[in-house]
Structures are given as C-alpha cells and as structure tokens.
Chains A and B, each alone.
Chain A
Amino acid sequence: MREKETTLYLGPQHPGITGNMMVKLKVAGDTIVKAETHIGYLHRAFEKLMEQRTWTQSFPIVCRICVPEPDPNEENLARAIEEIEGREVPERAKYIRVIVLELARLASYQLWMGGQSGSMGLYTMPQWTVGDRDYILDLFEELTGGRVYHMYIWAGGVRRDLPEGFADKVLKVMDYLESRLPDYDRLLFENALFHKRAKGVGVIPKEKAIEWGVVGAPLRGCGIKHDVRIDEPYEVYDKLDFVVPTHEGGDVWSRAMVRRQEIEQSISIIRQAIEKMPGGDYYNKIPNPLTWRVPKGEAYVKTESARGEFGYYVVSDGSEKPRRVHVRGPAYVHGISLLEEVLKGANIADVSFIMNSLGTCPPEMER
C-alpha cells in the first residue's frame, strides 16, 4: 500500500539542525520523498558589511562566518589581500598560521564527533569532545586572546607572537588528544550502532560528487583524493609531511572514517610545524589601518577547512575598503543542493545525522 505523503518542517529551531536553517520534507511514512532546503534565517550580510569597512576592520567580521572554525576565513581574507598587494609574510607567521588552522580543524572535528554522535542519540560523546575541545580553546585563548573568535590571522602575518612556553603547551594538548583517540574509537567509531546507522546512509555517488561540487571530507569519502593543502599548497603545507586519507563508499560512514584519520594527520602536522618553525618576525606590518589602500586587483584564494575547500574571491578597487568579498564556503554546496539530493529516500531520523556528516553550516551559506 502506498503511504500518504505529508509535509514536515524541520527547523529552523530544532536541536538536530546544524544552525538556523530549515528543511521542508515531503515524507511518505518515515521515508523522505523530497527535501527542500530553506535558508534566510541567519543572513547578516557579511559580504556587504565588508564593503563598508576598511580592510583591517573586515577581519573581525569574517571570523563570524563560521563559529566552530573561524580561522580559515581570516586566513583567506589575509591571503587574498597579500596576493593582491604582493605583501610578504614572514616564514614564522606562516608556521604559526598552519598551527592555528590545524588546531581549528581539530576543534571543529571535536564538535563534529559530538554532533554526529548526538544526532544518533549517543550523548556521552559530545560530553567528551566538547570538553576536550576546551583544551584547544584554552590554547587559542592564550595565543590570540579569544577562545572562539580569534581575530588573529591578518594581512601580513599574525597579530602577536607565540607566548612564552606556548609550543610546549600545544604539544601537551596534542599528546592528550592522541591519548583520547582509543576512547573515541571504542565509543563511536567501533560502535556497532554507529556502523549500522552510518553505512549506506547519505550516499553521494562517486561519479556525481565532482559534478555536484562536493569538497572536503564528503568528497574524500567518495574515494576522490582532493585536498587544497596538497593540490595547491599554501603557507608551509608543502614543507610538512602528511597524507590525505580517502575512503570508498560516499556514505556517512566513509566520511566519518576520513575525518577520524585526519585527526591523526592534524596532530602530526602541528607537531611538525612546531618543530620546524623558525624564529624571526611574525608580522609584516601594514600601513595605517585607517588609510591603508590595497592596490587595484583581485584574487581568489582557497583554504582547506574542516568542511572542505573554502574559497574567497576578493576585489580591490584601490581604495581603503574592499570592493567585493565573495565567500564560497563548502557548506553552500553541501547544505543547500547536495542535502536535497542526499536526503531523497532517507529516513526522517537520519536527516540531522546526514546534515552533521556533510558539515552544513548556515552562516556560510548566508554571508
């Protein structure tokens, strides 16, 4: 017997939704027939705001585009400006930036592990990971003065040098996080329930992945090796030794496996960066931030964030303010069009589970 179709509105206020957005579901029984994503609940006009701010004033804005991982935004804006202007960045600053970006990736994956488990009812995991993430936030607090929004990477380098003894503290936290991995494995990644819930769910067909513009862990979870850090290395990623894990399958499980392995890679990258980091300057000072004019030009830069390739298209008309900053976050694809495709045929209970695995992030869709 064919079940009656009903419409279900999931979000914008719903614990399973990763931010303020809404998915309008057409369901037959508990199977999704059609999904329509609706955004517009969170629009703060970041891109437009920047056109009214000076270049330096834009830095406190961009970090707000992603709460769990603000740093790729700062990195992108900084690197775009540096590319347009031809501003040199001291070697030490590049290493510091890599450390910050990888710490941010780790923190972001901690939240993801919590969200992924929470959305299937495994609430111990978020208790752990949010707590462990705090150790990373402590590091950020000490380095940048802020726990969540760092406003630390900016054009020309970073705002402050490493505080004394900071590197040792980072290594300590890395050791701790590494020691926690077996616990995470036992609780989540080796958990039979997780296997059962994740395998074959939210599948992105490999042949469609590139066509649809999938990036990051979801793309690598389709067995496609793509990572900006390797393909078009920025900062000092080409001087560091790491692998980009891939996994066949394209489902929630494959994506989880990719991220699980990337945690180890990030820890390794941070250790290498600390070891190889040279001394010297950390900031190639910009002129007066109130009158600083970035020469006419444009740049498209990209950074591999925890959710995938994060692009910024920045245009300068030679004035004190950006003419245009276009933010192309990975969630724009993952959270709007891809989600609609992947949710087709899924179970209602899997909606937030799939959303979590895709790394949807509404502020990135509504800039």
Chain B
Amino acid sequence: MAFDIKGILTPFSALNQGTKPPHTVRYPKEQKETAHRYRGLHYNDLDECIGCGTCSTICQNQAIDMIQLEGYETTNGDSGLRPRVDNGRCCWCALCVDVCPTGSLNLTTDYIYVTDDPDSFLWIPGVDNAKEGNNKLSWQSAEGKPLVDYQRVPMKELDGKERVKSFAEVVLGYNEEEARKEAERCLACGICTDICPVHMHIPEYINAIARGEDEEAVRIIYDNNPLGETCGKVCTRRCETTCAVNHRGEPIAIRWLKEYVTSKVENSELIKEILNPEIAEANGHSVGIIGAGPSGLTAGYYLALKGFDVTIYEAKDHAGGMIMYGIPKYRLPLDSLDKQVEYMKSIGVKIKYNTMVGKDISFNELKEKHEAVMIGIGFEVPYSLGLKGEEAEGSIQAVNFLREINSGRHVDIGNKVVVIGGGNVAIDAARVSRRLGAEVTILYRRRVQDMPADWEEIEGAEHEDVIIKPQAIPLEVISDENGKVKAIKYANAEMVPDEKGGRPRPKIIEGDEHIMEVTAVIGAIGQEADYSFLPEDIKEQIEISRGRIVVDKETQATALPWLFACGDIANRQADAISAIADGYRAVKGIEKLLLKK
C-alpha cells in the first residue's frame, strides 16, 4: 500500500478538540435538569389512592406489592392497602401510572437513590418521599391518554314520552357487543366486591362476560345470589359507586352487565341446565321461612340446595315480596321474577301462597313444624304523613298504591298527583302515576342532591316530565265538601346548617306558603314492620330496636337460637341486595345450628 501521508496526519486534527469543554460526563459536577416526562422514582398521593391494586396487576416485573399502611383503614371503596415498589425489580415503564384509575400514582424526576441497606429497595411511594415527591411529579397519567376506559357504553332506554304510555321495561338492555365492550373496561380490582352486601364475585363474572363466557358468568352469579336477574334490574348497586373507574370516569355498568347475562337465559329450565346445581341429599332438617321476599327466597334456595326441607309461607298470591309488589313492572317485569322463582321451586323450594302467619297458620304451629324459623317479612306498613286532613279520600300511601297496581288492580288517582317523599318508593309512585296518565309533582323537604333515591331513577322521572319540587314541606291536605282531596298546602323551605353537625336541615320560610290543586296525595316517607303475628312471649325474648329485630351479624340469629330474621326488619339498608345478603348469611347460621357445622 502506498504511503498515505494525509491519512496519517488528519487524525491529529483531533487535538484541536482539546480547547473545547467536555460534554460527556455532567453529573455530579454539573447538575442535570431532568426532563419534564422523566420516569424516575414513584410518588403516590396516599389520600387519593384507594388501594385498588391495578398498578400491582399491570406491573410485568411484579415489582409492586400492596401493603397495609398505618393510618389507612379498610373502608368502603378503599382497600386500605397502598403500593410498595421494589426498586430492584422496577423497570420504570410507568404502565402502573398510565393504568392508575384514580391518578394518584405518578413518577417523579428523582432518579438517584443511594443506600447501604439492601432492604430499603422496597420503597413506599408517598411515604418514603412524602415531603418532596409531590413537587417533582414528571410522568403523570393525566398527560397522554389513560389506559383505562373512562367512558361507559351507553344504555339504551325507551324515550320518556314513549315510556309513560305503558309499563314496558324502560331499560332496553345491552346487546352482546355492547356487553362485551362494557365488560372489557373492568380492571378487576375487586373494590366493588367488598362493598357488595353479598360480596358477589363481580370481577369474575364481568371477566367471564368479557371473554364471551356468558354461561360461566351466570354460574358465578348464582354462586351467592339466586336473584341475579332482579339485582341486574333494580339493585341499588353500591358496587358502582365505589368502582375504581368512578374516580375519574363513569363506573363499570356492573348492574347492566348482570342484567344482560342473566336475562339472556330465557326460562327456568335453561337456568337449571346451565347451573346444573348439585342438590345435596335430604338431611332430614326442616326450616320454615316467613315471607317470600328476596331474603326468604335466597335462604330458601341455598337451604334447599344443601338438602334442607324448606317451606316458605307467603301471605300474598305471588312470591317476591317488595320486589314483586313494591317495584313497578317497568323496572322489574313480572315474567322475569316468575322465571327466577320457578327455578327455585324446581330445585325443591316449597312456597305456600296466601298463607299469612298469624292468621292462616299460627306462629307457634310453625315453630312446632320446623326446627328453625326465619322471618323475612319486610316493611309493609307505611308511616303516616302526620298532616292535617290526611284521612281524606284520595290521600293514599305509596306502598299500598304500588301494591295495588302491581297486583293488576285499578287505583283512581285522577289527573294531578302530588307525591311526598324523596326515596325510591316516592319516585316509583310518581313514575307509576305518570303511566296512569296523571300530572305528577314530587314534594321533597330537602335539596335534590339530598334525595335518597337512586340518581338514575330521579333522572328517569325527570325524563318522564315528573316535576320535582325540592325544599317544599307539606302542611295540610285540603279536601272538598265530599271529603275528597282537593289541594295540598305546602311551604317553601330554606336549608340551614344543622347545629349538631349533621346534614343541613330545611327550615320553613315564614309566609312562603302555597296551595296546589291535586286529585290525589301519595305519601312515601317510609315504612315499618308489622310484628303482630309474633306471640308476646317471643317478642319478649327477642330484642326489637327502632323497629328492627336485633340479630347476630354473622348468622342472622335472634336472641332465640332457632329464630332468624332477615331483610328490612334486620338491616338498615332496606334494599334487595342487603336482604339477599341476610338470607345468604342465615343459611350459614341455620347450617351451624342444625348441622353443627
């Protein structure tokens, strides 16, 4: 090869680089300003975090554990757990941040962490950098597109104008595609399971729906709730309120998904075919249940599966209790309820209709016949409004009104109705009245946001042109010369802070009184139980406090070990799912009592 003088000399031009400042190593001589999006050490806003554990689930390095932190209790909607990151495993991919449903977990610009203690690789974000972390947030889930789907698949409903023409079901239900899409949003964190009174296996059945395994979902639902379809239509769904996705978006439509998958099963034979229940051999023990409401049916179903001889005594000619007679048919159609009850009967639950305990059969007789008795009679006796003129013709009680309508009978309410109350019963009465062709106004003492009714029900009522008049206190029912309701007198109220620190109270504005002409007044301010069927000695032996029978929280047993109480008479939630939960617990109590399990 020729002598290449140029090739030998040119590399020496590198020497002139010696005058330039070096740019390779900056730290620690020169502090580096970290980029705005830098993925450094974690920081967790501990109060914002609900301990859903989704960060831990998505972590592909299994670097995140959920641990119990001092000062953070397990409450409704908060597992009380907080993430702990193993910095030896973490790869700072920040998937945990992008998937965090509350947005509490973020990364910071801090990236240097020196320690001689190998155990301190375990880092609790928000505790170990409690002071400085919050000011150094860098990679945040708020930036970019979150991995969680915050938008719910909308539910199709009948139009408000169309609805009031009949008692057709308002909610049209998801179709398969919609259900799959909605089910796929679930993060399966299980926060909902804790708050569900029955602790239904919510993530499991939603995941089954997402996978397209609808029958499996039905089996999972029936594992601890034999009235899944009812709950799918009318549950008060505290699960959705606590849903992790609810923090920054719309919660998973847990109720509608349950509705989708259960109502898809067309008849009771199909339910039986899908569930293929294992019915234990008769164990020779007999249980009597008073009332075929949700708690009675639930207890009856699971007891029958376990080989007990179960008889439910129902005063009316139809099973279901409040879900049959209290809930309007546009929410829970009759054939849906019948299907569920039919299935229960097919596995051995005996229901004696038109058998009122205390009238058709005495309580003592029942006690003789059965080794254990469960009471699930519900609250059927309405509170009176306590208004002057309340006894007028046309002044009725919502529960009675709904019962009559649900039984297929006619109630004359005229064309202008006022409903008093703000709970679900009031809304039901109002919406039923609209379907009977009346103009409806709801008078409620407090503000709309204080109404105990389900917000979806309130919205539904509004769509049906029900007028809601909040902060209105009824004063008197005015009747005409024939003793028929003519008008209602009410006063507007202002909200004043409660002296005892409770929620704000309504206070009548002096002189702001009005008279509204009406053809019917429907009271819906609550109900209580009728214990008159219970013999005095029994009443003395059990404890009744504020209208409710005091029971053991684990077994639903009363002070008398053979007597159990469930549903509205035993819990304050007064909804179907709590009654179902009671019934489910009572099964365990009865098993414990009779089988010594």
Contact = CB atoms under 8 A, between A and B. Distances in A.
B23 interface: yes
Nearest to A156: B145
B201 interface: no
A160 B37 contact: yes
A192 interface: yes
B25 to A, nearest CB: 8
A146 interface: yes
B95 interface: yes
A84 interface: no
B186 A131 contact: no
A70 to B, nearest CB: 12
A291 B35 contact: no
A289 B60 contact: no
B458 to A, nearest CB: 30
Contact of A124 (B14, B91, B107, B207): B14
B38 A288 contact: no
Contacts of A131: 22-24
A102 B581 CA distance: 61
Interface in B458-507: none
A353 B176 CA distance: 62
A56 B11 contact: no
A288 B183 CA distance: 10
A191 B188 contact: no
B147 A192 contact: no
Contacts of A146: 39, 92
Contact of B99 (A193, A285, A289): A289
A287 B149 contact: yes
Contacts of A6: none
Interface in A145-195: 145-146, 149, 151, 159-161, 163, 183, 185-188, 190-193, 195
Contacts of A159: 98, 144
B58 interface: yes
Interface in B50-86: 54, 57-58, 60-61
Interface stretch (B2-10, B295-303, B365-373, B407-415): B2-10
A187 B147 contact: no
B37 A288 contact: no
Contacts of A144: 37
Given A160-B144, A288-B147, A53 B60 contact: yes
B1 to A, nearest CB: 7
A283 interface: yes
Interface stretch (A57-65, A212-220, A244-252): A57-65
B540 interface: no
Contacts of A188: 11
Contact of B93 (A141, A151, A187, A190): A151
A144 B139 CA distance: 9
Contacts of A127: 24
A190 B6 contact: yes
A288 B4 CA distance: 64
Nearest to A281: B145
Interface string B255-266: 000000000000
A163 B57 CA distance: 29
B184 interface: yes
B143 interface: yes
B1 A163 contact: no
A56 B58 CA distance: 9
Contacts of B149: 287-288
Contact of A289 (B17, B22, B58, B139): B58
B10 A190 contact: yes
A208 interface: no
Given A186-B10, A195-B7, A287 B184 contact: yes
Given A145-B94, A186-B11, A134 B210 contact: no
Nearest to B59: A57
A88 interface: no
B275 interface: no
- The secondary structure that dominates the B interface is loop
Contacts of B6: 190, 192
Contacts of A54: 58
A145 B61 CA distance: 19
Contacts of B14: 124, 183, 186-187
Contacts of A288: 147-149, 184-187
A64 B91 CA distance: 10
A196 interface: yes
B165 interface: no
Contacts of B181: 287
Interface in B94-148: 94-95, 98-99, 107, 138-139, 143-145, 147-148
A142 interface: yes
Range, interface on chain A: 35 or more
B17 A145 contact: no
B139 A145 contact: yes
Contacts of B38: 141, 145
Most buried by A among B8, B57, B147, B186: B147
B336 to A, nearest CB: 29
A313 interface: no
B13 interface: yes
Given A60-B95, A288-B184, A289-B147, A192 B60 contact: no
Contacts of B22: 131
B58 A145 contact: no
Contacts of B7: 190-193, 195
A130 interface: yes
Given A146-B39, A287-B184, A291-B186, A59 B93 contact: yes
A145 B40 CA distance: 8
B24 A134 contact: yes
B36 interface: yes
A242 interface: no
A290 interface: yes
Contacts of B148: 288
A286 B98 CA distance: 13
A292 interface: yes
A291 B210 contact: yes
Nearest to B40: A145
Interface in A272-307: 283, 285-293
Contacts of B10: 185-187, 190-191
Interface in B199-219: 207, 210-211
User: Among B6, B22, B36, B93, which residue has the most Cβ atoms of chain A within 10 A?
Assistant: B93
B13 A187 contact: yes
Interface string B41-57: 00000000000001001
Contacts of B11: 122, 186-188, 190-191, 193
A274 to B, nearest CB: 19
A339 B92 CA distance: 35
Contacts of A53: 60
A145 B37 contact: yes
Interface in B176-192: 181, 183-188
Nearest to A144: B37
A351 B54 CA distance: 49
Contacts of A60: 60-61, 91, 93, 95
Nearest to A146: B39
Given A186-B11, A290-B54, 7 more contacts: A142-B36, A149-B93, A151-B93, A183-B13, A187-B13, A187-B14, A196-B1
24 contacts: A57-B60, A60-B91, A64-B91, A131-B24, A138-B35, A141-B35, A141-B37, A144-B37, A146-B39, A163-B36, A163-B37, A183-B14, A185-B10, A187-B13, A190-B10, A191-B11, A192-B7, A286-B147, A288-B147, A288-B187, A290-B99, A290-B187, A291-B188, A293-B211
Interface of A: 53-54, 56-61, 64, 122, 124, 127-128, 130-131, 134, 138, 141-146, 149, 151, 159-161, 163, 183, 185-188, 190-193, 195-196, 283, 285-293
Sort A-B residue pairs by CB-CB distance and give the 4 closest, nearest first: A192-B7, A60-B93, A57-B60, A131-B24
